[in-house]
Amino acid sequence: MARIASIMVDRDNAVSRSGLGCVMGSKKLKAVAVHGSKPIRLHNKYKFYELAVAAHKKMLSHRFAGDVIRYGTTILVDLMNKIARYPTRNFQSGYFEKYEKLSAEVLRERYRVGEVACFGCPYHCKKRHMVRSGKYACDGGHGLEYETLDAYGGRIGNDDIEAIIYANQLTNRLGMDTDNVGGVIGFMTELFEKGIIDEKFTGGIKFRWGDPELLVKMIRMIAYKEGIGKLLAEGTHRVAQKIGGEALKYDMTVKGVDIPAQDGRAQKSMGLSHAVANRGADHLTSAEFLSEVGWPDAIIERFDNLAKKIYGRSIMPEGADRLDPKFKPLMVVESENFAAVADSLVVCKFSTHWPPALYYPDIAKALTYATGISFNEEDVRRIGERIYILERCYNLREGYSSRDDRLPERFLKEPAPAGPCKGHVVELDEMLREYYRLRGYDENGYPSYEKLKSLDLLEAAKELNITQ
Ligand code: SF4
């Protein structure tokens, strides 16, 4: 069983990060099938329906709605290359010189055959891409997303779009995480390029940038644990640990999880998010979008009320500058808490984060109408914080601490080589200090007794021996 296995949902959707498919497999749990037979009863279905209609209107009126509907996440290939945040050749750069071959418009014009939407969603972000003929002919499943367009594109220096569509579907069929598969291939290729490993080590395989045939071959070898694939199925971090020495410098993981398709040097809040995310390097545990796509004025105003209580001033204009580390810890905390709410409600990151059309007041009203229990903005904020801190406590109990809230050396010491962020590194220590202060953590990354008490989490305090 590959450690980088996903839990597959409806054939083409993957719960991918952190090897959860492997956890299921290790427990000999093959599948979970769910079938509902009773209606969903809402406390006030008329008010709830009115709110849903208003939410749809808000979502559709956001200035980024058109792009989401037209391209889904594939639009990010173009946008992220412009700001050099698109990881290229194992994060050596954030700019891929051949990105236009993988662009949203190419996919839309040549390969898009339809769309797939979750129930009731007006964004229908999933675009089906098919390769009609040639050696990579395939129906493409639910199609490509931005993450895979980087993992199998820029991150391994590959500009063959048909190979990416094919490899994406193959990886889904074999039940693995494309971010981790692309990550480990990119890592091996850099080691090969730098002469740290050779063909003797890889069993005769030459790892080269931009080799689509190698990509497809390695996916199969990893899934079936053939040859060098057996080692790579352990994931980048374990491979790096096994090789040791110079290889450790190029291990682009956090808490053992491959960093996804964002170069934190081009967006400082993303660098911090990757370092502190509870499930390892992640772009969805905190999706700080003020400095990525901007927030509507109404949300900035609400958030600023909170910021003013802490700093006595507005977070603007620095908050919206993705290269300025100022205020990013506060925005990451805000985003982590809100994402925890969205995740536990099973609400999509589209609409709550990208674009940020819905915010705490909308969620509080929805919960009230659905359950009949009165919620306000503060209640929901507290729930988000409580979830996030409880997850942190779980990690601490399992042995994680501040020493794991780190980034690879490359992001801290190697200045970004291209684009508007040229010359930048991630100012992690500076942001981390402020992040810990805002979270109520001590220098070891443990939440204080007072913080846990305020969130009604004294049981966790007891388990972690955190006292007054
Ligand atoms: S709910 Fe989210 S993932 Fe599903 S179609 Fe809508 S935008 Fe896409």
Residue 411 lies in a domain: yes
Q: Are residues 279 and 249 in the same domain?
A: no
* Residue to probe by mutation, ligand 1, list 9, 73, 124, 358, most atoms within 8 Å of CB: 124
How much is the pLDDT for 353? 82
219 and 83 belong to one structural domain: yes
Q: How many CA atoms lie within 13 A of 183 on its CB side?
A: 29
For ligand 1, the distance from its centroid to the CA atom of residue 65, given in whole angstroms, is 12
The encoded tokens of residue 43 equal 């406390």
Given this model, what pLDDT does residue 185 score? 98
Pair (234, 100) in one structural domain: yes
Looking up residue 142, the CATH number of its domain turns out to be 1.10.569.10
- Four-residue CA torsion sign, 401, 403, 404, 407: positive
- Asked if residue 299 and residue 244 are part of one domain, the reply reads no
Same domain, 419 and 389: yes
Q: Residue 49 falls within a domain, yes or no?
A: no
- pLDDT one-digit tens code per residue, 155-166: 999 999 999 999
pLDDT digits (tens, 9 = 90+) for 308-346: 989 999 989 998 899 999 999 999 999 999 999 999 999
Q: What are the C-alpha distances in Å from 419 to residues 96, 154, 310, 422? A: 10, 15, 34, 5
Using the atom order of ligand 1, give the atom closest to the CA of residue 68: 7
Q: Name the closest-CA residue to atom 4, ligand 1.
A: 118
Task: Give nearest CA residue, ligand 1 atom 2.
Answer: 348
Q: Give the CATH number of the domain where residue 375 resides.
A: 1.10.599.10
**Which of 281, 197, 198 lies closest to 244, judged by CA?**
197
- The answer to whether residues 392 and 443 belong to one domain is yes
Please report the atom of ligand 1 found closest to the CA of residue 124.
Answer: 5
**Is the shortest distance between the CB of 327 and ligand 1 below 6 Å?**
no
* Residue 48 belongs to a domain: no
Please enumerate in sequence order all residues whose Cβ is within 8 A of that of 172, keeping only pairs 6 or more positions apart, or say none: 6, 8, 11, 12, 14, 141, 178
First to last CA, the chain: 45
Task: Kindly give the number of the ligand 1 atom that is closest to the alpha carbon of 122.
Answer: 6
Tens digit of each residue's pLDDT, the chain (468 residues): 899 999 999 888 899 888 999 999 999 999 999 898 999 899 999 999 999 999 999 899 888 889 999 999 999 999 999 999 999 999 999 999 999 999 999 999 999 999 989 988 999 999 999 999 999 999 988 889 999 999 999 999 999 999 999 999 999 999 999 999 999 999 999 999 999 999 999 999 999 999 999 999 999 999 999 999 999 999 999 999 999 999 999 999 999 999 999 999 999 999 999 999 999 999 998 878 788 777 777 778 878 888 898 999 998 999 889 999 999 999 999 999 999 999 999 999 888 887 778 889 999 999 999 999 999 999 999 999 999 999 999 999 999 999 999 999 999 999 999 999 999 999 999 999 999 999 999 999 999 999 999 999 999 999 999 999
Nearest-CA neighbor of 277 among 392, 375, 355?
392
Residues 137 and 276 occupy one common structural domain: no
Chosen domain end from 258, 290, 324: 258
Is 263 a domain residue?
no
Does any ligand 1 atom lie closer than 6 A to the CB of residue 69?
no
Q: Are residues 365 and 221 in the same domain?
A: no
- Supply the angle between the helices 297-311 and 328-345 in degrees, to the nearest 10: 120
Residue 61 lies in a domain: no
Domain match, 296 and 344 both? yes
Residue 99 shares a structural domain with residue 162: yes
Q: Is residue 50 part of a domain?
A: no
Atom of ligand 1 at shortest distance to CA of 117? 5
CA dist 48 and 54 (Å) reads 10
Local structure of residue 18 (DSSP, 8 states): G
- 26 located within any domain: no
Determine if residue 465 is left, alpha or beta; phi over 0 gives left, psi from -120 to 50 gives alpha, anything else beta: left
Ligand 1 center to residue 275 CA distance, Å?
27
pLDDT reported for residue 289? 79
Q: Which two tokens stand for residue 389?
A: 């801190």
Are 311 and 330 contained in the same domain? yes
Q: CA-CA distance, 359 to 377, in Å (whole number)?
A: 9
Find the DSSP H helices in 277-348. Answer: 297-311, 328-345
Q: How far apart are CA 155 and CA 90, in angstroms?
A: 5
Of the candidates 237, 258, 279, which is a domain's last residue? 258
The residue segments making up the domain with residue 195 are 68-258
* Domain shared by 317 and 177, yes or no: no
Question: Alpha-carbon Rg of the chain, whole angstroms?
Answer: 22
Q: Does residue 43 fall inside a structural domain? A: no
In tens, the pLDDT along 367-400 reads 999 999 999 999 999 999 999 999 999 999 999 9
Spatial separation of the C-alpha atoms in residues 16 and 13, rounded to whole Å: 9
